[in-house]
Structure 1
């Protein structure tokens, strides 16, 4: 460990160790940490570094410094480039001379120490308040049969969750610590160092070899590889948001992980975690980035999903009926579709419907998302394949609708074709 990191370690505040009692920390798979012994699994090469960090902090809180030392040594042996582990080792060395409860505050403006403290707090927070794995994020209302997995990112908690599609019901698989933009979330413009909020889709995979060929030295930033996302999407462009190049990616090989806010807007995971997550990512995998996750019990989730499906079905039914007034009643006052506003949309649709004797509309491959916004107002996003047949026109296309709340009802604020 370098002298600079030893200096940082010696200045760690006592708050990390004087937090609520370790007995409140819950362990994955029910492996509670005994006050008198360490499970062999925690000292093995297969143990996850995050679990070992939390176990070490727990041991320090319980004044079991020998156990903490064993854990940190095992962690450094497995991950010698893990700076947070070096910080904990420095504290344990300092503890030989004086109680850790007496450690002084960090020097003002020590960004490296602040970053490590924030990372430690984010990781410990996940174990102090584990995710309700039997609940469902409200953002995932319906996945189509081709979307085998979905990702939900809790930007304020530095946590990424992976779900599988179990016959239409999202089921928890894994979760990981992750990093977002240096200035937080809600991206608006190119270079603002923020991570966007919204619903995006994986567009491909750039392995490290490809990154090296394309970006040269800069490829080091992305570690094992990158999975680009579809930012900006149609809603972002409608709102005037700019920028590009928002990816899921790894981190430089010289460090195990980065601070909660350390990227230029991308979402970054440790290289082992990104590799594990990448096994589930294919083009069109949904990635929802939200300020915070609303967890729903399955019955509540089903009710909300049914309500969203009913909104879309009412729109489809009224369109198919050729009742132009009812159909246009589904559109918001500030509706846009390309260059068309509500007035021009009404004029066009009235003219089209007047020339038809009948219409049949079928929606396939439907996916529904509660679209996150910073203010919590939220939107409803629907993606589907549209099969339109009428007395004088037959077409098939991919469509996307965004609904917003207007006068206590959901109204379509944007409609567009995909591809």
Structure 2
């Protein structure tokens, strides 16, 4: 795709500009006011289609096929009347018929508070357009995965990864025998003040490894949350260990009168267009779906993480062996001195839990089923591990989650709890 931003030397490029449609620009300011719930979008308006059509219009403009571009832009604006970039594409193409356009949203300099508000909205729309186009120019390599996904259990049928630098959410399917397969990706907005949430009310989106905890239907929420919501488990045990506060971080839809929000627009949540969120709501499973939120995703070939996976598998197997044998001295060596277990239990209290669990095995070998390894690396190296713990001969057992921290050459557990 060869869409240009900024000053354009050629007539075809000059036509690609944001026209000034003041009414549609300022309508979203009313989105938080109570309104009747709008009707569901027509069935044919599926996830990702609006953006795909917008990018096709941009391509037509770059090829100087302006009449086709205008016809498609008008159709897109009719189908998605609140999609501001579609409305503005129409304005661009009409305005370019009358005079050369120097840049996106080439309008007179603001001379009033109203004009300043319009100018600020235009800047947001330029950023949104740029993020959408750049994400298509820099597609992940075929068959690659985010580096955090070392191993995903078959019980996790889907996974989500967010690249904040690209305002992009990637949806994966964990297909039987095929590993993670990228099935869709969407534009997504993050916090007004960016990322790296640390305190309640800081208007930032957290970074880390999270899990969807529940599914909230639109009928139970204010219209502001659009098609529904998927809460995640911020603050997770690593966040809590670092003293981070706050909560209520959701993946949710857009409010009435607004197809999408600016790249930096939320109070910390991840916000998608409603048709895109509806696909995710229909697809993912609470509790078992991981959500990785990164400043910038590192894409790797699946085989490239096999060495890391095998290395950590040996560590977890040693932990399993010590617990199977009831060797408490060796077992406790896997736990950090500042360990904090479920219900805030310190290590001395958790040791009693481990002792009771080891005794209950009655000499039977412990088996770990459906393992998932998710690695998070920032100033520290953390492994988020989920598995089913089943005594040999038993049919079921608890599902546990552990957080391990790498200290030098040694991995140690700083959190452990039962999640199912």
TM-score bin (small chain): 0.7 to 0.9
Q: Does residue 397 of structure 1 match 2:388?
A: no
How far does residue 128 in structure 1 lie from its aligned partner after superposition? 0.9
How far does residue 413 in structure 1 lie from its aligned partner after superposition? 2.9
The corresponding residue for 1:309 is: 313
Contact 2:324 2:361 in 1 (8 A): no
Identify which range, 119-128 or 331-340, moves more after superposition: 331-340
The corresponding residue for 2:369 is: 364
Contact 1:14 1:100 in 2 (8 A): no
Query: 1:80 and 1:320 mapped to 2: Cα distance?
Result: 62
Query: 1:265 and 1:333 mapped to 2: Cα distance?
Result: 33
How far does residue 115 in structure 1 lie from its aligned partner after superposition? 1.1
Quickly say closer, same or farther: Cα 1:408–1:252, change in 2 above 3 A: same
Q: Does residue 192 of structure 1 match 2:183?
A: no
How far does residue 224 in structure 1 lie from its aligned partner after superposition? 1.4
Q: Does residue 289 of structure 1 match 2:293?
A: yes
The corresponding residue for 1:81 is: 82
Contact 1:290 1:372 in 2 (8 A): no
CA offsets, 1:88-141, max 9 Å, x none? 222222211222346758757832112101110111012111122411122222
Q: Does residue 383 of structure 1 match 2:392?
A: no
How far does residue 401 in structure 1 lie from its aligned partner after superposition? 1.5
**What stretches of structure 2 of length at least 5 have no aligned partner?**
14-43, 111-115
Q: Of the candidates 162, 170, 181, which is equivalent to residue 180 of structure 2?
A: 170
Contact 2:173 2:183 in 1 (8 A): yes
Q: Does residue 53 of structure 1 match 2:54?
A: yes
Query: 1:161 and 1:101 mapped to 2: Cα distance?
Result: 34
Identify which range, 348-357 or 165-174, moves more after superposition: 348-357
Query: 2:259 and 2:377 mapped to 1: Cα distance?
Result: 30
Contact 1:179 1:260 in 2 (8 A): yes
Query: 2:280 and 2:322 mapped to 1: Cα distance?
Result: 42
What TM-score results when the alignment is normalised by the length of structure 2? 0.77
How far does residue 176 in structure 1 lie from its aligned partner after superposition? 0.9
Q: Of the candidates 1, 6, 28, which is equivalent to residue 15 of structure 1?
A: 6
How far does residue 396 in structure 1 lie from its aligned partner after superposition? 4.5
Identify which range, 341-350 or 50-59, moves more after superposition: 341-350
Contact 1:149 1:281 in 2 (8 A): yes
* 1:155-234 matches, cutoff 5 A: 155-167=164-176, 169-211=179-221, 219-234=222-237
Number of residue pairs matched? 371
Query: 1:309 and 1:113 mapped to 2: Cα distance?
Result: 51
The corresponding residue for 1:4 is: none
Query: 2:8 and 2:260 mapped to 1: Cα distance?
Result: 21
The corresponding residue for 1:392 is: none
Contact 1:139 1:369 in 2 (8 A): yes
Query: 1:281 and 1:356 mapped to 2: Cα distance?
Result: 35
Quickly say closer, same or farther: Cα 1:349–1:72, change in 2 above 3 A: closer
Q: Does residue 277 of structure 1 match 2:280?
A: yes
How far does residue 408 in structure 1 lie from its aligned partner after superposition? 3.0
The corresponding residue for 1:246 is: 249
Tell me the SS of whatever aligns to 1:245: coil
CA offsets, 1:226-252, max 9 Å, x none? 122222333333332222221111111
Contact 2:361 2:391 in 1 (8 A): no
**What stretches of structure 1 of length at least 5 have no aligned partner?**
1-12, 23-43, 212-218, 390-394
How far does residue 204 in structure 1 lie from its aligned partner after superposition? 2.3
Contact 2:7 2:102 in 1 (8 A): no
Contact 1:17 1:57 in 2 (8 A): no
Quickly say closer, same or farther: Cα 1:220–1:45, change in 2 above 3 A: closer
Query: 2:45 and 2:274 mapped to 1: Cα distance?
Result: 16
Q: Of the candidates 154, 168, 177, which is equivalent to residue 145 of structure 1?
A: 154
How far does residue 160 in structure 1 lie from its aligned partner after superposition? 0.9
Identify which range, 398-407 or 408-417, moves more after superposition: 408-417
